[in-house]
């Protein structure tokens, strides 16, 4: 009896796992407080405020902020987000080292059979390395071998290693006194410092143990888990905050901070706006100052939770923060038109009373926060869609127009979702810059709200084709914006 496989042969092909969308609803709160539990994780994840109180104590500042975060309606849970809590770490002390990164002259060294070189470890009296015979060297590796033997034989307190083809001498100590210094030989023989080109060496002193900078804390946490927003609770200088804001600007994330003095508005807020740091939102309330307490971040926590509550997978879910109401936060009834003008010029948002009602007031001078977070979502989603299109194709996307159509369709699916959730919509393209076919461009924006173009495969360079790169894909999308005010003219007739 013959096998059925001679007639029908079935094999299974599974699809690779896809990359999940980045959740911009995740909010990171950085605290200097220590949790009460043993062996806490670098990043602790919460879906309710009670768990935060259990881990940090109900009286802790991070627990108070968690109460505010989850008090909003909707809050980060509506978008599938979670509250993340991270803490600054200590940066370990480092060792000093010197790496021979200069251009070593083999010809010069081969003429030396009595070489000498001085080396100082941790600022100690230099040790003279003598009788270094390079007359038979044929490679850089031979040079390193001779130096390695001489250094290990004549010194202590350092190690020698070849890393990526470069000789690196490292002190065994750590801290600011840790160092390695190579210098011209003062002993018997011929100085080899010039042949080794030590003037071009990379010489790095050690550093003492220290606290992470806010920017280092952010980069470490952001590199571990994605989050769409961050609040930094430990007190830092305005200079450090601006450095942090500059770092956050380079990532798909937002930074929130509340201030309680007009001086901070006109200095920190004004600088953030002028530096173009649109991913940072400064919020003002004089209430903490009136109470004689430091500027608490309740307003920042409430504002961030409401902003990050948008579920972009839904229909008409995109929001503006203007004239929204917060829970658990007192509006500032002392903000006058004069104060509001200052806030507006500095790009600072606030929570005040409008006609007796507590409302968020957004200025837009530093770009509206809803537009910033919407574009973060859009950028993330386009990135993930492109990756999944390439990684989930069981065979390949050919370098043909057909293959490009498949890739562009993956991007188009994100654009269509942007239309559905209200981030974008059909309209008139109001600037002169276009790409592709101008008529098709404007027609697509008018009809669909977006336009996707790539140059023909036939125009691709041979180098790009051999590198298996797709032609540049360009996407234009019309944002819907939001109406924040209206003028009405009434004509009456008796």
Predicted confidence (pLDDT) per residue in 213-245, tens digit: 999 999 999 999 999 999 999 999 999 999 999
For residues 253 and 199, membership in a common domain is answered with: no
In a domain, 344, yes or no: no
In a domain, 171, yes or no: yes
Distance CA 458, CA 278 (A): 39
For residues 251 and 303, membership in a common domain is answered with: yes
Neighbours of 409 (CB within 10 A): 12
Domain tally, the chain: 3
For residues 181 and 148, membership in a common domain is answered with: yes
Structure tokens at 378: 């859009």
For residues 241 and 224, membership in a common domain is answered with: yes
Beta carbons of 217 and 30 less than 8 angstroms apart: yes
CATH number at residue 167: 2.60.40
For residues 378 and 467, membership in a common domain is answered with: yes
In a domain, 123, yes or no: yes
Distance CA 139, CA 144 (A): 9
Distances (CA, A) of 30 to 176, 240, 280, 301, 457: 28, 15, 15, 12, 48
- Long-range pairs for 196-199 at CB < 8 Å and ≥24 separation? 196/100, 196/102, 196/104, 196/109, 196/117, 196/143, 197/102, 197/103, 197/104, 197/105, 198/100, 198/102, 199/102
pLDDT in tens, 189-219: 999 999 988 888 888 999 999 999 999 999 9
In a domain, 380, yes or no: yes
Domain final position from 319, 334, 362: 319
pLDDT value of residue 6: 63
pTM of the model: 0.86
For residues 55 and 119, membership in a common domain is answered with: no
In a domain, 239, yes or no: yes
Half-sphere exposure of 299 (CA within 13 A, CB side): 27
Asked if omega into 135 is within 30° of 0 (cis), the reply is no
For residues 254 and 192, membership in a common domain is answered with: no
Angle, helices 61-71/298-307, rounded to nearest 10 degrees: 40
- Long-range pairs for 481-488 at CB < 8 Å and ≥24 separation? 481/371, 482/320, 482/322, 482/368, 482/370, 484/320, 484/322, 484/323, 484/362, 484/364
pLDDT value of residue 421: 98
Tell me whether residue 135 is exposed, middle or buried, using C-beta atoms within 10 angstroms of its C-beta: 0 to 12, 13 to 18, 19 or more. exposed
For residues 190 and 158, membership in a common domain is answered with: yes
**Angle (nearest 5°) at CA 12 between 7 and 14:** 160
In the DSSP assignment, the letter for residue 251 is: S
Domain final position from 171, 204, 237: 204
Beta carbons of 54 and 61 less than 8 angstroms apart: no
For residues 128 and 184, membership in a common domain is answered with: yes
Structure tokens at 400: 């043909």
Is the torsion defined by CA of 38, 40, 46, 49 positive or negative?
A: positive
For residues 84 and 233, membership in a common domain is answered with: yes
Domain final position from 204, 239, 273: 204
pLDDT in tens, 419-476: 999 999 999 999 999 999 999 999 999 999 999 999 999 999 999 999 999 999 999 9
In a domain, 10, yes or no: no
For residues 60 and 101, membership in a common domain is answered with: no
Containing structural domain, residue 421:
371-477
Distance CA 459, CA 447 (A): 28
Listed in sequence order, the DSSP H helices in 250-368 are 262-264, 270-274, 287-290, 298-307, 337-346
For residues 221 and 261, membership in a common domain is answered with: yes
pLDDT value of residue 200: 84
pLDDT value of residue 249: 98
Contacts of 299 (CB under 8 A, 6+ apart): 258, 283, 285, 326, 329, 351
In a domain, 349, yes or no: no
In a domain, 329, yes or no: no
- Residues of the chain predicted below pLDDT 50: none
């Amino acid at each position: 009896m013959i096998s059925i496989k001679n007639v029908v042969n079935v094999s299974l092909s599974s699809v690779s796992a896809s990359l999940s969308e980045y959740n911009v609803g995740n909010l990171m709160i950085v605290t200097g407080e220590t949790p009460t539990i043993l062996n806490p994780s670098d990043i602790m994840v919460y879906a309710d405020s009670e768990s935060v109180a259990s881990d940090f104590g109900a009286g802790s500042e991070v627990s108070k902020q968690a109460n505010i975060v989850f008090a909003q309606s909707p809050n980060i849970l509506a978008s599938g987000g979670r509250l993340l809590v991270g803490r600054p770490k200590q940066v370990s002390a480092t060792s000093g080292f010197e790496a021979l990164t200069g251009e070593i002259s083999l010809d010069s060294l081969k003429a030396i059979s009595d070489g000498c070189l001085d080396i100082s470890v941790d600022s100690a009296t230099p040790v003279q390395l003598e009788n270094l015979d390079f007359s038979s060297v044929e490679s850089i590796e031979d040079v390193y071998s001779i130096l390695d033997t001489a250094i290990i034989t004549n010194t202590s307190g350092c190690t020698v290693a070849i890393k990526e083809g470069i000789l690196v001498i490292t002190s065994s100590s750590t801290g600011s006194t840790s160092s390695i210094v190579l210098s011209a030989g003062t002993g018997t023989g011929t100085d080899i410092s010039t042949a080794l080109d030590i003037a071009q060496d990379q010489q790095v002193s050690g550093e003492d143990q220290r606290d992470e900078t806010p920017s280092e804390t952010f980069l470490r946490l952001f590199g571990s888990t994605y989050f769409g927003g961050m609040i930094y609770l430990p007190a830092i200088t305005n200079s450090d905050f601006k450095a942090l804001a500059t770092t956050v600007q380079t990532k798909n994330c937002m930074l929130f901070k509340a201030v309680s003095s007009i001086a901070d508005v006109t200095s920190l807020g004004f600088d953030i706006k002028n530096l173009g740091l649109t991913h940072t939102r400064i919020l003002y309330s004089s209430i903490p100052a009136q109470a004689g307490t430091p500027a608490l971040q309740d307003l920042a926590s409430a504002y961030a939770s409401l902003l990050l509550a948008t579920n972009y997978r839904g229909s008409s879910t995109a929001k503006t923060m203007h004239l929204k109401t917060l829970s658990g936060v007192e509006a500032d009834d002392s903000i006058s038109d004069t104060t509001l003008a200052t806030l507006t010029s500095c790009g600072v948002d606030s929570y005040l009373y409008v006609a007796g009602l507590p409302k968020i007031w957004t200025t837009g001078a530093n770009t509206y926060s809803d537009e910033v977070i919407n574009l973060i979502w859009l950028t993330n989603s386009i990135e993930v869609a492109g990756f999944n299109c390439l990684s989930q194709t069981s065979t390949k996307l050919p370098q043909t127009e057909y293959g490009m159509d498949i890739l562009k369709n993956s991007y188009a699916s994100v654009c269509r979702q942007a239309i559905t959730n209200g981030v974008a919509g059909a309209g008139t393209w109001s600037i002169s810059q276009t790409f592709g076919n101008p008529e098709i461009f404007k027609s697509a924006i008018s009809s669909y709200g977006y336009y996707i173009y790539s140059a023909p495969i036939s125009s691709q360079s041979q180098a790009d084709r051999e590198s298996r790169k797709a032609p540049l894909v360009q996407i234009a999308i019309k944002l819907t914006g939001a109406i924040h005010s209206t003028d009405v003219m009434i004509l009456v007739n008796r």
